[in-house]
Amino acid sequence: MDDLAERMRADLEEIGRTFMPFGKYGPQHFPPHGVPIYDIPAEYLGWFANKAGFPKGRFGVLLQMVHQMKADGSDTAFDVFRKRYGRTDLKPAKRKSWKFEE
């Protein structure tokens, strides 16, 4: 059991250190490193899962893990990284109140 916990801890730490190297959330649009993969929206990861396929190698495995955690509702596991490094806001804040003229 300790071996499994250690592997899970190592995977989570690696996810926390990995940034998107290409595409819409890569360094070209979010300099200098791109977006941390734990902050990539679930819809974008779902596109990989359903249409394009995940990249080959370890990076693809990490993206699959993040996608699965977000799909399962375990996104709060990444809050440790968000607090440590500051949250990356990818979507504008939604307006919560409106004032209508009469």
35: buried, middle or exposed (CB in 10 Å: 19+, 13-18, 0-12)? buried
Cα radius of gyration (the chain): 16
Which candidate, 92, 84, 93, places its Cα nearest to that of 38? Answer: 84
**86 has a pLDDT exceeding 70:** yes
pLDDT, tens only, 33-43? 999 999 999 99
Q: What is the pTM of this model?
A: 0.79
Name the CA dihedral angle for 63, 69, 74, 75, rounded to a multiple of 10 degrees.
20
Where does the pLDDT of residue 47 fall: very low under 50, low under 70, confident under 90, or very high at 90 and above?
very high
In one-letter notation, the amino acid at residue 17 is: R
pLDDT of residue 93: 66
